A and B are shown apart, each in its own frame.
Chain A
Amino acid sequence: MASLARRRATDYTVKAISIGFAGLSLVLLAWIIWTLLSRGLPALGPHVFTRITLPPGAGGGLLNAIVGSLIQIGMALVIGTPIGLMCGTFLAENGRGTHIGNVVRFVNDVLLSAPSILIGLFVYQLLVVPFGGFSGWAGVVALAILVIPVVVRTTEDMLALVPIGLREAAFALGAPQWKVVTMITWRAARAGITTGILLALARAAGETAPLLFTSLGNNGWSLNLNAPMASLPIAIYQYAASPFEDWVALAWAGALLITAGVLALNIVSRLVLAKMK
């Protein structure tokens, strides 16, 4: 065995390296945020929110992309949340310890981490090819498929925290299961389930890859979900890779908006979760 002095020296060295690694990751986070602020803020004027995307040099904004994103994310939540909520409830209330429950849980975990671009390809095959064109609806469905597993996971975890005694008390009074679930367990886990929906919203807001082959993007003003629809991530992707200075600046402004929104959602949901536990 090495001498005490040497073991101590190793201990200090490893501790110093660990502190260095933690510091490094914080510095990188700060660097990314600083980059976004320093390049995004100067480009962020009222025109970003009042004008639609225009040709380079014409002083366009991101209005259609922002509105398109909000519509698609909103619809994706409307479709994905109920399915995710019911499936999470199924896992927590009916599927615990059963074979089918374990399989569904496994499949959901795979969906949660599956490459999002493949969801885009899938929806392309499912909706774009048969219906003959890119559409906002296809984008909505792709985002909904990303929303579902996040909601399932948090709903199940949060329902598992509700004490069994609460359910037993309700059942003992003769309440049917739908009443126990909707009036007792869902209410008790309300804050946690909302957190899951916020996290799903944050995930859907930042995803680019699933929209590439579904809603495609649209440089004009369109609220029609049956036609290609603009979205913020797609606009950023197009603009960031362009050779035009004003487009790149708009891409940074959009990137700042998305990141600020997503980080705010994450911090809020973490605060809610921390309060619950």
Chain B
Amino acid sequence: MDATLSGAQTVKGLAAAKPTGRISDPLFVGLLWASGIFVLLLLGLIIAMLFEGGLPALREFGISFLWSTTWNPVTERFGAGVMVFGTLFSAVIAVIVALPLSFGIAFFLTEIAPGPLRRPIGVAIQLLAAIPSIIYGMWGFFIVVPLIAAYVQPPLIEWLGPIPLIGALFQGPPLGAGMLTAGLILALMILPFITAMFVEVLESVPPMIKESAYGVGATTYEVYRNVSVPYGRSAMVGAVMLGLGRALGETMAVTFVIGNATRMSASLFAPGATIASTIANEFPEASIGSLKLQALLQLGFILFVISFIVLALSRMLVRSKLKG
């Protein structure tokens, strides 16, 4: 860093100058405070405007809007049930798939990978987080959906479909697009976030306690499982929550691959809808002041509340460990 050099030069300049801060300093500090407060107000304004915009829909349909599974633009009866279910269902699939992968990759990056490979591989996995959502959508729509429809769904429907209880997850025609595909794409998208935080937490484990476990003869995996992971458990739960929060609000990728059907189904293969995909899809057909637009804004508000809770929990868990 060239900080010391340019710092020293500046200090010379400062020494020669008279104190000039009488007016400019309060102004500058005022600006700093103002921008801090601005960010606070921004979030408040976002929440207020989404709530206010969706309020008429809430008045019209009552609190049952939250769980009603009707979404009928023709008769103008709207409910959020199907989308709330789809949002949670696809996000939970994503976390269930991404979690073991992240555990494995974090183990690889912190314990197995040889030194020179560690950074390049870590960076490459982080690049997955940089790819725009719409690219995942296109890749999912043109490449993954046909593959799943041809090779994954038919055998699963045939083998697992007839089994009672579990079979309900594997019903319906092999369309390719649906909850499972959306969940898989989301899993790939949140994987780098979860992995990066896992690695950060695992690297903060004091070497001493790991070494004492090695000293009594534990294997690498046993140290990882019984020492490192328990040490960082709360922050790692926080990392998973962050991934969940990201998956809940993802829009473009999901819109391409979920099939966009506003029907409720327990099947992994059935097309569905999330709050975000419904907003993206149906907004162009909703005119200003219409009940449909208000219902969409209300959906947005619900999504905001869900994400806010998940992100707040995540942050509490992560900060408590890393800063404490």
Contact A10-B219, Cβ < 8 Å, known A21-B101, A32-B139, A107-B40: yes
Q: A70 on the interface (CB 8 Å rule)?
A: no
Q: A15 on the interface (CB 8 Å rule)?
A: yes
> Is A188 in contact with B7, judged by CB distance below 8 angstroms?
yes
Give chain A interface residues in 167-226, CB to chain B under 8 Å.
Answer: 169-170, 173-179, 181-184, 187-189, 191, 202, 205-209, 212-213
**Nearest chain A CB to B125 CB, angstrom units:** 5
> Is A162 in contact with B131, judged by CB distance below 8 angstroms?
no
> Is B221 in contact with A103, judged by CB distance below 8 angstroms?
no
Of A7, A32, A118, which contacts B50 at CB under 8 A? A118
> Is B283 in contact with A212, judged by CB distance below 8 angstroms?
yes
Distance of A183 Cα from B297 Cα, bound (Å)? 45
> Is A187 in contact with B220, judged by CB distance below 8 angstroms?
no
List residues of chain B with CB within 8 A of the CB of A18.
104-105, 107-108, 112
> Is A252 in contact with B138, judged by CB distance below 8 angstroms?
yes
List residues of chain B with CB within 8 A of the CB of A86.
31-32, 34-36
Distance of A106 Cα from B296 Cα, bound (Å)? 27
> Is A100 in contact with B36, judged by CB distance below 8 angstroms?
yes
Give chain B interface residues in 267-291, CB to chain A under 8 Å.
Answer: 276, 279-280, 283-284, 288
> Is B46 in contact with A118, judged by CB distance below 8 angstroms?
yes
**Nearest chain B CB to A122 CB, angstrom units:** 5
Q: Mask for A83-117, Cβ within 8 A of B = 1, else 0?
A: 10011011101110000110110111111011111
Taking chain A's interface residues, is the majority helix, strand, or loop, or is none over half, making it mixed?
A: helix
Of A115, A162, A170, A187, which contacts B303 at CB under 8 A? A115
Q: A25 on the interface (CB 8 Å rule)?
A: yes
Q: B143 on the interface (CB 8 Å rule)?
A: yes
Stretch among B73-81, B172-180, B204-212, B243-251 lining the A interface:
B243-251
List residues of chain B with CB within 8 A of the CB of A32.
131, 135-136, 139
Of A10, A83, A110, A212, which contacts B38 at CB under 8 A? A83
Q: B56 on the interface (CB 8 Å rule)?
A: no
Interface size for B (C-beta < 8 A) is 97
Give chain A interface residues in 249-277, CB to chain B under 8 Å.
Answer: 251-252, 255, 258-259, 262-263, 266-267, 270, 274, 276
Q: B165 on the interface (CB 8 Å rule)?
A: no
Contact A166-B14, Cβ < 8 Å, known A115-B249, A115-B251: no
**Nearest chain A CB to B218 CB, angstrom units:** 9
Q: Mask for A6-35, Cβ within 8 A of B = 1, else 0?
A: 011011001101111110111011011001
User: In the complex, which residue of chain A has the Cβ closest to the Cβ of B102?
Assistant: A21
Contact A263-B127, Cβ < 8 Å, known A89-B32, A121-B300: yes
> Is B220 in contact with A266, judged by CB distance below 8 angstroms?
no
> Is A7 in contact with B14, judged by CB distance below 8 angstroms?
no
Of A115, A173, A178, which contacts B248 at CB under 8 A? A115
Contact A236-B3, Cβ < 8 Å, known A29-B127, A170-B14: no
Distance of A222 Cα from B75 Cα, bound (Å)? 39
**Nearest chain B CB to A154 CB, angstrom units:** 15
> Is B128 in contact with A25, judged by CB distance below 8 angstroms?
yes
Contact A176-B25, Cβ < 8 Å, known A22-B105, A115-B250, A116-B251: yes
Residues of B within 8 A of A (CB): 1, 3-4, 6-7, 10-11, 13-15, 19-21, 24-25, 27-29, 31-40, 42-43, 45-46, 49-50, 52-53, 100-101, 104-105, 107-109, 112-113, 119, 121, 123-128, 130-139, 141-143, 188, 191, 219-222, 242, 245-246, 248-252, 256, 276, 279-280, 283-284, 288, 296-297, 300, 303-304, 307-308, 311-312, 315
- In the A-B complex, list the 4 residue pairs whose CB atoms are closest, starting with the nearest: A176-B21, A115-B249, A206-B132, A178-B28
